[in-house]
Structure 1
Amino acid sequence: MSNNLVADLWESITQTSSTELLAAAAGIVSVWFSKKASSWVYPTGLLNTIIYVWLSFKIQLPGEGVVNLYYTIMSLYGWYNWSRKDLTEKPLVQISYATSQEWIQHVLFFVIIYIVLYGSLSGLKEYFFEGAIPWADALASAAAFTGMWLMTQKKIESWYWWIVTNITSMPLYFVKGLRVTALYYLILLLLAFAGLHSWKEKVKKPHA
């Protein structure tokens, strides 16, 4: 069983377009830079998101397409925000925990985005995207919307939302036949746990 799975995965890799492989590689490098709290997360991420905007609509995952378009816009903002420095050349935006009030705002933001996306995707499924999976696509996308916004603010909690996004996205892409992308999200999931640990350590040791 496991040998068949490995063989199927290898076959999928060999049949995967160079464009998808490039997007996956750029995404992994981007998350690695994010783990390091480096502003290089954004230029590398832009390459990933632009490709996935096109790919998501192609395989009838419009919610993922919208979220990658959002990633593209927020990457430009995040790149600017992370690059800002004070008079001593220290970054103005530092890694920090969200307050209780901010947590409530984040959850409300997630719920609103989920409801809007689910309703929109359900309508699109009926008329344009018969292969869409509204509830799962909306869940992954709403979590990603929330995680991306928090990442531009260097909030540790952004990693929790990335974990939800990656867990949801793996089966979503697998059932669409994009096994390499499903594997890509598994790698991102592991990096998200590593990033969460790394950012917590950086808060304990501000100069690390």
Structure 2
Amino acid sequence: MIDFLFSQYKGYPTHQIVLEIIAILFGLASVLFAKKNNILVYPTGIVSTIIFVYLLYKWSLIGDMLINGYYATMSIYGWVLWSQKKDDIIEYPISIMDKRDIIKAVVIFFITVLFVVFIYKFFNKFTDWTAYVDTFTTGIFFVGMWLMAKRKIENWILWIIGDIISIPLYFYKGYTFTSLQYFIFTIIAIYAFKEWKKSLAKTI
């Protein structure tokens, strides 16, 4: 069983395996902070995404690298938004998407997908079915990250969808630790959605 799960790591440099584990731990911490609506979601997330940008570059996973590069950038953006207060009142509390948010989300999704398609074609990465799935999950995760920065509760729905798809995807690619991370992410995201929903109900 152990050999089935982790045989993909044979021949991997030890430092890359250690870095992947560290990135996963910071990633898990980030999602737990997000679940608690705690601003520490961002500094912990930045550490995780920067490490993954390096690893994914080494693994030649361009689409995934772009996702994590975007995460790092949006983490800074989200950190700024979550820090904003007016008369000690948070300017961006947990809320529900309105029509303008939905339109922006759809636009971000399609622009992201088109951008990834362009990048994949440029680097000739459409050589496996996983590349096509990557374009879809990248769009989902880009929108999810943007919605989290805006503290929109629907961000968790997108995380759940993207995480579920990523579990078998990363295992197939040979990154068992990252696959397990997305499995845990899915569970946390489900509970986080419920927790944010309760918090939102108190303010209505």
Unpaired runs of 5+ residues, structure 2, are: none
- Give how far 1:108 is off: 2.8
Which residue of 2 is the match for residue 198 of structure 1?
A: 195
| Matched-pair identity in % | 34
Which residue of 2 is the match for residue 167 of structure 1?
A: 164
Q: 1:146 aligns with which of 126, 143, 146?
A: 143
Which residue of 1 is the match for residue 51 of structure 2?
A: 51
CA contact (8 A) 1:49 1:72 kept: yes
Q: 2:173 aligns with which of 163, 176, 180?
A: 176
Work out the CA distance in 1 between the residues paired with 2:111 and 2:47. Answer: 28
- TM (normalized to structure 1)? 0.87
Which residue of 1 is the match for residue 42 of structure 2?
A: 42
Work out the CA distance in 1 between the residues paired with 2:103 and 2:182. Answer: 27
Residue 98, structure 1, aligned to residue 97, structure 2: yes
- Where do residues 1-208 of structure 1 align in structure 2 (5 Å cutoff)? 4=1, 8-9=4-5, 17-87=17-87, 89-125=88-124, 133-206=130-203
Cα deviation, 1:177-206, whole Å, max 9, x if unaligned, reads 111110101111111111111111110123
Q: Which moved further from structure 2: 14-23 or 34-43? A: 14-23
- Give how far 1:120 is off: 2.1
Q: Which moved further from structure 2: 172-181 or 31-40? A: 172-181
1:108 maps to a residue whose letter is: V
| Runs of 4 or more above 4 Å deviation | 10-16, 129-132
RMSD: 2.4
CA contact (8 A) 1:144 1:165 kept: yes
Cα deviation, 1:45-101, whole Å, max 9, x if unaligned, reads 0110001111112222211101111111111111111011111x2211100000134
Unpaired runs of 5+ residues, structure 1, are: none
CA contact (8 A) 2:6 2:176 kept: no
SS in 1 for 2:85: coil
